[in-house]
Amino acid sequence: MAKKRKKAKKAKAKKTKKKKAKKVAAKKKKKTKRKKSRRTTMYSSKGKKLYAVRTADGKFKDIQTYKRAHTMDMKRKSKAEVAPAAADPSAPSGS
């Protein structure tokens, strides 16, 4: 009888370990989300300000003039601006 209890206890412990391992793996997966791409400020030979967008591994993905990048940023709406507009359709739109 004692052997059966020990076996059952070991099997239960194994299942618990597997569950914990899955939870830990899921947490790690959440934490290792893709790194947000950042902009590096540079200047062209003509003296214009440039933004160099890098990929997560640090390579250049895109180089834009500051003027073009800034204009697109201003056209883009934030979540805070979009949410009230979606809730109240009678409100005047920004464009």
Q: How far apart are CA 57 and CA 15, in angstroms?
A: 38
Q: How far apart are CA 51 and CA 68, in angstroms?
A: 9
Q: Looking only at Cα atoms, what is the longest distance across the chain?
A: 86
pLDDT of residue 35: 61
pLDDT of residue 54: 84
pLDDT of residue 28: 67
Please state the pTM of the whole predicted model: 0.41
Measured between alpha carbons, how far is residue 23 from residues 12, 20, 52, 53, 90 in Å?
17, 5, 38, 35, 46
Q: Give domain limits for the chain.
A: 39-77
pLDDT of residue 47: 93
pLDDT < 50 positions in the chain: none
pLDDT of residue 48: 92
